[in-house]
Structure 1
Amino acid sequence: MRLITFLGTGNYAETRYTFNGQECQTRYVAAALATFLQADEITVLATEQAYTSHAQGLTEELERLQLPRPTIRRIPSGGNTDELWQQFGIISDAVTEGNVAQVSFDITHGFRAQPFFAAAVINYLRSTLDTVPAMQAFYGEWRRDEATSPIWDISTFIGLLNWSSSLQSFMKTGHGAGLATLARQENAAIQKAGQGERPRTLASLAESIRAFSDNISTVRVPQIITGKERGSASDVLAKIAQSEAEVRTHFMPLFPVLEQLQAKLQGIPADSLFSPQGHQAMLELAKLYVSYERYPEAAIVLREGWVSLYAETQGADEQQLKSDVRNNMESRWNAAEGKDSPERIADQIRNVRNDIQHGGFKEKDARNPANSLIRDLQILLDKFEAKLKA
């Protein structure tokens, strides 16, 4: 385990640091943390002034406690943009060099923006590297007028970076596997800790998000909107309602987005695909795909939604999805809105969908720019919405 600590310039006074029932009498919180965490390596980040003030004292204290000799890296004070980028690079190197399995940050004496940069580096590395060390963060609260000074584990806020990334992925793209995995892991940790009342609905919320995400990724329109009993969108909404209190208590990072998620999914559940409610649900699902910038899927849903308008009867979804019945729907759609109709909507939708799905490999579509396809798709969505309102 590598401890990365920031060295400041203060007049550090001796105290008895405490952490998880352990105690260490020292001037330096880094020495106490290295003792408590049994650090194998210690990297000290210090400005020139901090180095002059404390590098020797900290080195001697680590030696006294029979701890590893520190690697001391000079960092600029961060007075301009160039120095800030130098700080970023130095902190990044301190984390990644040597492929260490675990890194702990001591931000107690971070100067100016150094703790902020530590968080930025953690987030950057998690987003860009396939494998990163397990990371923790700690802060030592020196108490002037008390015999002991506690060290706080603030690693929760590193976990917040995981939540931020997973939530952004789900809300912006519909990819929820990472969020579901994180929710399951957090739930398992809470259950294992066994402190206070254990959550009972968080696992099912995570599972509903995973199922919805899988259906979104594979464009399972019936399963999203209806399903055998209720669709995965409806299931997510139900699980949100059931778990809201527990999310607020145990998963606070997830709570603020629940209302946003509810708003995104509210118009999608329906009892049948072949009903006014079902037609509107397919419009809302196509819009959701557009908001995710997933245009091929939006084109698929738009086409199937328009074909479904030409069902001879409402309801009876299993019967309506049989191949011969569906083929008859498509024939009626083409007859009504194909090449012999004024707007040739069926041909327009077919052209947009095929152009996207064939990746521009059709000769007549090869030079069709992406922004033109997106514009045409949005126009067709607007026309579908207008038709439903007519």
Structure 2
Amino acid sequence: MKALSFLGRGNYQTVTYVFGERSCTTSLFPEALARMFPLERLFLFVTEEARKSQGFLELRERLGDLLEAVTIPEGKSEEELWEIFARCAACLKEGDSVVLDITHAFRSLPLIVFTVSAYLRKVMKVEVQHILYGAYEARVPRREPPQPEDCVPVFDLAVLLDLLDWLSGVEAFLARSEAGILAEKLRITHDRLNRSGTVNGEKPRKIKRVAGKLEELSKALHLSRPLDVMEIASLLLPELEEAKAELSRWARPFAVVLEKVAQEVGRLAEEHPRSLSEESLGRQLELIEHYLEKGLVVQAVLLAREWVVSWACLKDGQDFWLNRKYREGVESILGGMAQQARDRKALSGQKSWMTDALAREWGWLTQLRNDIAHCGMSVSAKGAQSIESKAKVIPGKLRAILASVPGVSPSQEPKVVNLETLYDGVAKLELLPQYLEKARELAGEGCDVVLTGQAPVWLYLAVAHALHGKARRLYYSSPVTGEVLIFDHAAL
């Protein structure tokens, strides 16, 4: 075991430091550290000025070869702070066990110690056993001047590192739907409490079940198993509710974000996902949007293509929509439609859901899926940014299909959004969010949209951007220019 400690130039008083059943009477906590723990080496970090102090000279005499002094700068600049960080980290190697002491640390050094602690644990796999602070101000009795027999409690702040792990786990789940860290923390908490029990002998019974379900959900999400995702989420929701009391008592960092986690899970829950319906397809569509929000573009695109097949199965009125051969047959029909559309031929077949618009969407989505599935191994492969940009418009396209309007046919009237009606008098930039909300309502989903009316250029640009991914085609119209095509997602 090694220790990292600090010494300043303070006038330290002799007291009795107490840590559990261990104690040591001294004016210098690094000495107490050496007496309380079986150390192989104690690294003492001192500035040039602190190295000349009487306290340092006394420590060197009392601890002998156990002590290794490391000179550090004052920490008055960012560069010096990084230098202190580097010198602390350089004292340890992978697999070491360490006790960190901030009792006599000054200015920003305690914060650096916590940063070093997190780095050592995550990167170098160092076991941080304790982060100690001798709370001189909490001595008992509190006499002035203090007497050697006055007891100073030594607090272990390593629990704050544990809190950092909880925060990392929560961030990973909310940002990327990755529940591995959270599940591990819950499982460790459950096992530790069941080994030791609590003061009144109670033990948690439900925390570990929550951990298991969270991990299952995360794996199903990342392996693109939408039906499993919806089933697991529907089972996890009541588990979270039932475990609320235990989580609040024994896993408080998780309990704080429990409502947020439940909201995330609730968006994915569906009790009967294997029963094909517009409702279940709607929930799958929400899952696609969830994937895109979390940056999981590959999963979103893969599911989107399967979603179109499932939608066609629903329109075909078949109950065996999960039969692989049947789905391959539907895919073949969709592929034939796409080919006919590319060859500009009239669609052949007896399926009522076969339309030119659906054929274009299927062809576009299949190309995008293939580009991803083949890992860009093609001279014509799209770049990552292009793929991400294309993926963002998928939800709007699928919502139009779900509403049984796979695309707006030429015979359908486009939606007209007159920008003059969005505001009264003069358009105000601070009211832009209200204008955009009204424009989205007027435009609907998956329709051809025409922008017209007198309005400032900035409002036209903002509305056009807001309708990207919602409108199928967007036009600008004025008496001078006539209709001008701004974008055409149907042609993608």
> Do they superpose with TM above 0.5?
yes
Please state how far the C-alpha of 1:347 moved relative to its aligned partner: 0.6
2:375 equivalent to 1:359 = yes
Between 1:116-125 and 1:147-156, the stretch displaced more is 116-125
Structure 2 residue matching 1:297: 3-state secondary structure: helix
Worse-superposed segment, 53-62 or 1-10: 53-62
Aligned partner of residue 342 in structure 1, secondary structure: helix
Q: Could you tell me whether the CA contact under 8 Å between 2:98 and 2:126 is conserved in 1?
A: no
- The structural deviation recorded for 1:79 is 0.8
Equivalent residue of 2:312, what SS?
A: coil
Q: How does 1:96-111 map to 2 (within 5 A)?
A: 96-97=92-93, 99=94, 101-111=96-106
Tell me, yes or no, if structure 1 residue 155 matches structure 2 residue 155.
Answer: no
Partner of 1:236: 236
Where structure 2 has 5 or more consecutive residues not aligned to the other structure, the ranges are 342-355, 405-492
What is aligned with 1:369? 383
Contact persistence 2:121–2:127 (CA under 8 A): no
1:138 corresponding residue in structure 2: 132
Opposite residue 61 of structure 2, the aligned amino acid is E
Cα displacement (A) at 1:331: 4.6
> Within 1, Cα distance between the matches of 2:340 and 2:115?
56
Conserved? CA contact 2:133–2:154, under 8 Å: yes
Cα shift readout 1:345-367 (whole Å, capped 9, x = no counterpart): 111110111101111113332xx
Query: Which segment is superposed worse, 166-175 or 181-190?
Result: 166-175
Q: TM-score, normalised by structure 1?
A: 0.88
In structure 2, the partner of 1:345 is 361
How far apart in 2 are the matches of 1:378 and 1:286? 10
1:190 aligns with 2:187: no
- Compared CA separation, residues 350 and 311, structure 1 to 2 (3 A): same
1:342 maps to amino acid: A
Please report how far the alpha carbon of residue 182 of structure 1 lies from its aligned counterpart in structure 2 after TM superposition: 2.4
Q: Are the equivalent residues in 1 in contact too, given 2:311–2:402 (CA < 8 A)?
A: no
Q: Distance in 2 between matches of 1:163 and 1:37?
A: 28
Counterpart amino acid of residue 87 in structure 2: I
2:321 is the alignment partner of 1:320? yes
Distance 2:366 2:6 in 1: 61
SS of alignment partner, residue 310 of structure 1: helix
Question: Which residue, 59, 74, 77 being the options, matches 2:74?
Answer: 77
Equivalent in the alignment of 2:33: 33
Q: Secondary structure at the match of 2:357?
A: coil
Contact 1:338 1:346 in 2 (8 A): no
**RMSD, aligned α-carbons:** 2.4
Q: 1:272 to 1:355 in 2, by over 3 A?
A: same
Aligned counterpart, 1:119: 114
State the SS of the aligned residue for 2:365: helix
- Which residue in the other structure is 2:123 paired with? 128
* Partners of 2:177 and 2:71 in 1: CA distance: 43
Deviation at 1:177, TM superposition (A): 2.3
- Supply the AA of the counterpart residue of 2:180: A
Q: Tell me, in whole angstroms, the C-alpha distance in 1 between the residues paired with 2:179 and 2:104.
A: 38
Q: Secondary structure at 1:320's aligned position in 2?
A: coil
Q: Identity, % of aligned pairs?
A: 26
Contact 2:121-2:128 at 8 Å conserved across structures:
no
- TM-score, normalized by length of structure 2? 0.71
Moved more, 159-168 or 293-302: 159-168
Question: How far apart in 2 are the matches of 1:124 and 1:134?
Answer: 11
Contact preservation (8 Å) 2:3, 2:98:
yes
Asked if 2 retains the 8 angstrom alpha-carbon contact of 1:136 and 1:158, the reply is no
The higher radius of gyration belongs to 2
Name the structure, 1 or 2, with higher relative contact order (CA <8 Å, separation 6+).
1
**Post-superposition CA distance 1:110-132 (Å, at most 9, x none):** 11111111111222334434x33
1:16–1:23: 8 Å Cα contact kept in structure 2?
yes
Q: Provide the rounded CA distance (Å) in 2 between the counterparts of 1:339 and 1:189.
A: 64
What secondary structure is seen at the aligned counterpart in 2 of 1:10?
A: coil
Q: Give the Cα separation in 1 of the matches to 2:225 and 2:312.
A: 20
Q: Distance in 1 between matches of 2:242 and 2:45?
A: 47
Shift of 1:100: 5.5
Q: Shift of the alpha carbon at 1:315?
A: 10
Tell me: CA distance 1:321–1:13, structure 2 relative to 1, closer, same or farther (3 Å): same
CA displacement 1:176-223 (0-9 Å, x = unmatched): 223212221122122222123322211111111111122122212221
Size of the aligned set, in residue pairs, is 375
Instruction: Provide the C-alpha distance between the structure 1 equivalents of 2:324 and 2:66, rounded to a whole number of angstroms.
Output: 74
